[in-house]
Amino acid sequence: MNWQIDERIRRLSLGDAFRAIADLALPRVCVVCGRELILKEDCICMQCLSDLPQTWYWNVRSNPMAMRFNERIQALLDRQDEMGRSQSGAALYEPFSFAAALFFYSGDYRSITRALKYHRNFAVGKYFASLLGRRLASSPLFGGHGSPEAGFAVRYEQAAGPGNSFPPVDLVVPVPLHWLRKLRRGYNQAEVVAQGVAAALAVPVCARLLVRRRRTRSQTSLSPEERQANVSSAFAVRQKVLHRFCRRHGSPRHILLIDDVFTTGATLLACHRAIRRVLGSEVQISVAALAVVGR
């Protein structure tokens, strides 16, 4: 018995030992249920992690989140077409945007994004951003590869639309905060998520590509129509930053926009349109978030 106990202790890494000591002084708790975490648990207990309401949207091209987002894009294009903004006279074209979120924003799991956004819990943000990034990296839509089952489903849908191609994500861009709001908060929660996702995808992140040109109201209490009007034309591409990125890494083929929560998609749509005004339709623009509201 003594040998077995000694063997367990011997197998502990130095990091595990420090964590165990720290847990005695300041126990870590699950971000979802508040239960004290054991040594090998990180941010969330195994029970809550196993019950995490994952969307699995990263393996489904025409998932509900993607359809909602693309419907908003199409509605915007239809309005532009009616106003005579199509210079060629043909219907405006926009590639289908892929969209995915790690989990559904419901119940106690809402505390995950709240811990990052309102309580400066960067450990939680990095943990779940890495989890999202690994899911996207396994997807043929975002990472360029995936499980045979997922790949078959995507190739089947791809065959239905001739000319479609799915280049892997090669640039991650977070939704920016207005400089004054970022100064007061001290950080941008979307940037924390973007860093974790980019690391898992092994691609660069460009936090300064987009700028929020005007300070907008909080989207929390606004209707879908008010949300869209609130962020309309609020974002712009920093041309110098884009040119610098292209010189260093080449022109991006698939840009992934990142936010913490996808509600109506109004903010991500405004960012999408700002990039599309600068880059041609041959560049794929997709969106991802830690959580999505609704199913």
Render the chain in DSSP notation, one character per residue: -HHHHHHHHHH--HHHHHHHHHHHHS--B-TTT-PBP-TT-BSB-HHHHHT--B--GGG-TT-HHHHHHHHHHHHHHHHHHHTT--TTSSPP--PPPPEEEEEE--GGGHHHHHHHHHH--HHHHHHHHHHHHHHHHT-TTTTS---HHHHHHHHHHHHHSTT---PPP-EEEEPPPPHHHHHHHSS-HHHHHHHHHHHHHT--B-TTSEEE-S----STT--HHHHHHHHTT-EEE-HHHHHHHHHHH---SEEEEEEEEESSSHHHHHHHHHHHHHS-TTSEEEEEEEEES--
Residues 105 and 152 in one domain: yes
10 Å CB burial of residue 2 (0-12, 13-18, 19+) is exposed
Q: Same domain, yes or no, for 30 and 94?
A: no
Q: What's the Cα-to-Cα distance from 176 to each of 55, 136, 170, 218, 270, rounded to whole Å? A: 25, 21, 19, 14, 11
Give mean pLDDT in consecutive 10-residue pieces for the chain, a chain of 295 residues.
Answer: 51 54 69 93 96 97 96 87 55 85 98 96 97 96 61 39 68 95 94 98 97 72 61 86 96 97 94 93 95 93
Q: Tokens 């996808």 map to which residue?
A: 262
Cα separation, 188 vs 55, in Å, equals 24
124 φ, ψ to 5°?
Answer: -65, -45
Question: What is the number of domains present in the chain?
Answer: 2
- CA–CA gap between residue 32 and residue 251 (Å, rounded): 41
Residues 25 and 124 in one domain: no
Tell me the whole-structure pTM to 2 decimals. 0.83
| pLDDT score at 94 | 87
CA distance 71 to 210: 23
Based on the fold, state whether residues 125 and 175 are members of the same structural domain. yes
Same domain assignment for residues 212 and 135: yes
Structure tokens at 36: 């004290």
Site of tokens 């106003």? 83
41 and 82 in a common domain: no
One domain, residues 187 and 276: yes
Task: Say whether both 15 and 59 belong to one domain.
Answer: no
Do 153 and 225 lie in a common domain?
Answer: yes
Same domain for 76 and 29, yes or no, is no
- Write down the pLDDT at residue 84: 62
The pLDDT score that the predictor gives to residue 77 is 86
- Show the domain range for 105: 53-292
Determine whether 130 is exposed, middle or buried from the number of CB atoms within 10 Å of its CB (0-12, 13-18, 19+).
middle
Whether residue 175 contacts residue 257, with contact meaning beta carbons closer than 8 Å, is answered with yes
Q: How is residue 216 written in tokens?
A: 């907008």
Beta bridge mates, 111:
none
Is 97 found in the same domain as 33? no
pLDDT reported for residue 212: 92
- Considering only CA atoms, which of 280, 268, 218 is closest in space to residue 93? 280
Tokens of 169: 């994500």
For 245-270, what is each residue's pLDDT tens digit?
Answer: 999 999 999 999 999 999 999 999 99
Looking at the structure, tell me whether residues 20 and 142 fall in a common domain. no
Structure tokens at 218: 């909080």
d(CA 101, CA 90): 34
